[in-house]
Structure 1
Amino acid sequence: MPDDDDAATDVDDAYLTLADRADASFTVQGSEFLAHAAPVESVAAAEAFIEEIEAAYDDATHNVPAYHVRADPFREYASDDGEPSGSAGKPMLSVLQGREIENVCVVVTRYFGGTELGVGGLVRAYSGAVKDVLDAADIVEERPHEAFSVTVDYDDSGTVRGILESEGVEFEADYGEAVAFEVRVPVVEADALRDRLRSATSGRVDP
């Protein structure tokens, strides 16, 4: 997609994002504005959310997207989707920047009500829609996570599972011929967790 902007980000920094999806709506001079927001962890997830909203509201006059994603490097994107240049996408992106909310995608759907709002009116409407949906959302502080896999024999599986549970990290276990753990852990804690797993299994685990 065009108009993206890359900037470096420190992967160890905590950041604000959404706990879950949120929606908000209002009407201005007959035009209905529906704001949709979702937490996303990649550009692909953001684009998939945009496509989902476009498909769900394919009869709308406009579906205007904007997102901030903590990729490597940082990515942000906005489009006016047929509205006058600078009247929709960038004002929405400015709200995300001002609120310092990351890993988030917003789409504002507009059903035209017959009255032109002018560029100033559109800026107020689209930025207001994003403010409303963020106000409706549950904002949480998150830390960057990474995922890794650990495959062990059954003899070591109880030790590994016990460590993962004691550390309070997210994981899923698949019990087959061996036991495969899919682990999701904050980046700043990942190396220490790997070291603990290696030590506890005398090096039989090499995540």
Structure 2
Amino acid sequence: MSDAYRTVAEAATAEFFVQGSEFIGHVRPVDSVDAAEAFIDAVKDEYADATHNVPAYRVRTGDGGSDGHFLREYSSDEGEPSGSAGKPALNVLTQQELENCAVVVTRYYGGTNLGVGGLVRAYSRAVKEAVEAAGVVEERPHERVGITVDYDDSGTVRSILESEGYEFDADYETTVSFDVRVPRADAEALRDRLRSATSGRADLE
């Protein structure tokens, strides 16, 4: 599994009707299984009056393989006929090679049975249209690097972070603390550079 991956750019929804049934596709980028499940629970709570809320996700975890991550996939039919809802939703994520992505398709039954084939098409369409609305981007896994230094070294650290274009928050108190979001592949090199630039005075997490 490569370091870079495809995911949705932002949360989005898509809505349409099929023979009276309303389908609403919800999609969101997530960075953990817990985040995916929290998103699914939030949609289920918001649409508690719906006939079905069908979830699916594909999320990287840090517990598999020599490259350090494993892909966890999940889907559920949530009361729809077996294989007619959750699996088609998950298949869209798989076919588009999306990771760290969670979806829920909400259905309000409209009085007409769609049959398994009709359900497969509708649930697939809901995910496809939600993904299209969100847009797809390529991401690399990130991690947080914590840096604490005295004021004398804070300018040096800030200069390095800004020159690399990393996102960070700085907290100026008795000492200066930086909380930095760094691509995982670059994190150790950044730590080495900061140690060198501060002659080992930086406290790194």
For structure 1, the 5+ residue unaligned runs are 1-8
CA distance in 2, matches of 1:25, 1:167: 41
**1:132 alignment counterpart:** 129
Q: What do the CA deviations read for 1:34-89 (whole angstroms, capped 9, x no partner)?
A: 00000000001001100110111110000000001111232111011111111100
**2:117 alignment counterpart:** 120
Task: Give TM-score, length-normalised by structure 1.
Answer: 0.92
- Which of 42, 45, 59 is residue 49 of structure 2 equivalent to? 59
Identity of aligned residues (%): 68
Which amino acid letter does the alignment assign opposite residue 159 of structure 1?
T
Quick check: 1:92 aligned with 2:92?
no
Structure 1 segment 56-205 matched on structure 2, within 5 A: 56-72=46-62, 73-205=70-202
Q: Which runs of 4+ in 1 moved over 6 A?
A: none
How much is the aligned-residue C-alpha RMSD, in angstroms? 1.0
CA contact (8 A) 2:149 2:203 kept: no
CA contact (8 A) 1:194 1:206 kept: no
**2:4 alignment counterpart:** 14
SS of the aligned residue for 2:61 comes to coil
CA contact (8 A) 1:31 1:115 kept: yes
Quick check: 1:47 aligned with 2:37?
yes
For structure 2, the 5+ residue unaligned runs are 63-69
Give, in angstroms, the shift of residue 206 of structure 1: 4.2
Give, in angstroms, the shift of residue 19 of structure 1: 1.5
**2:27 alignment counterpart:** 37
Give, in angstroms, the shift of residue 187 of structure 1: 1.2
Which amino acid letter does the alignment assign opposite residue 118 of structure 2?
G
Give, in angstroms, the shift of residue 163 of structure 1: 0.6
